[in-house]
Amino acid sequence: MSNDSIPSTLMRYGGSWLLNDLLHERMSASKVSKFNDPFEANVKSIGSFSNAAKNRVSKKMEAELMRFYMSKKPHLKPKDAKKKARKQLQRKSHTFNYCNKGTEKIFNKEDSHKIIEKTSRIICFVDPNVTPIDDTRMWGYYSDNHTGSRVHLHTHFFKCAGLNIKKVDYLNSPPEVNFTLQYEPKYIDEYEKSLSKIIFTKSLAWQHENEIRVFCLLQLISIQKGEDGEDRDFIHLSPFAISRIDIGIKAGGDLEKAKQLQKINPTILIYRTVMPSGEYYPCYELVT
């Protein structure tokens, strides 16, 4: 999916923390292992080890064993630790047994999460062309049952920062990834590309969300205390990235926070969510 197909604004629903974060000029980003749906970011492991890959796995295991032995016995010389590691690998045929178990038994969802989280975090948005039915669902899912707000953000702020923006693909089954390619230098680009499928793929059960994700490299992430006092991952986001704020129908102090943001960026439009008589779905009333 090219960036040309990405809408000019992105929407994000959130609890009371959402506007608090924006007042601090930040937006939270997620680890894939922390996504709401435990079935998400799943993977089907395929492929088998080539002889060259087995040799690289053997060297990796040897290095790990060397570090282990030297941590237990700091006086141990590297050459002695290496000799001991090689002896251990040969005696138990670790590499052979490891590589012949089958990749589906070696690599799993948790492994893919660890690999992705070493380099990146994800921010999840939805397409602003949401239907009233799906709008109602997402207020319930993501805004603490309508007690938070929804923000509209200019897409070009993310593009200018060099972030990768892509629509989610909805499939019947998880993407296939050949994890053995990480030990094959000539296929490393193919391997990294296949990992991105994990981030940008989701079950058909969630197709109604029409989700768009922003991929953030760790260099752009800062760890700060969240509203709950816990350490969270954030990217910097200026209030000038905001085009509109919709206040949830059961939100408390969010209107005042929205007006504070509007003082910084007067172009922000503020809407209040209302429930007209005889209607099932949210409507929006401009706050003047």
The stretches of the chain forming alpha helices (DSSP H) are 17-23, 51-72, 78-92, 94-99, 103-106, 109-117, 132-142, 155-160, 188-199, 254-264
Q: What is the pLDDT of residue 2?
A: 45
Q: Report the candidate in 1, 19, 9 with the shortest Cα–Cα distance to residue 144.
A: 19
CA–CA dist 51, 32 (Å, integer): 32
The two tokens of residue 63 are 């290095």
> Coil, strand, or helix at residue 167?
strand
* Domain coordinates in residue numbering, the chain: 3-44+110-286, 49-101
User: What one-character DSSP code corresponds to residue 108?
Assistant: -
Residue 16 CB neighbours (<10 A): 19
CA–CA dist 171, 13 (Å, integer): 24
Is the dihedral angle over the CA atoms 148, 229, 109, 119 positive or is it negative? positive
pTM (2 decimals)? 0.80
Question: Which residue ranges of the chain lie beneath pLDDT 70?
Answer: 1-4, 91-109
CA–CA dist 245, 278 (Å, integer): 25
Q: What is the pLDDT of residue 3?
A: 46
Task: Give bridge partners of residue 254 from the DSSP assignment.
Answer: none
Residue 263 CB neighbours (<10 A): 9
> Coil, strand, or helix at residue 7?
coil
Q: What is the pLDDT of residue 284?
A: 95
> Using an 8 Å Cβ cutoff, are 33 and 197 in contact?
no
- Residue-wise pLDDT for 151-189, tens only, equals 999 999 999 888 989 999 999 998 888 878 877 888 888
Q: What is the pLDDT of residue 1?
A: 41
Q: Report the candidate in 190, 204, 195, 189 with the shortest Cα–Cα distance to residue 176.
A: 195
Q: What is the pLDDT of residue 94?
A: 53
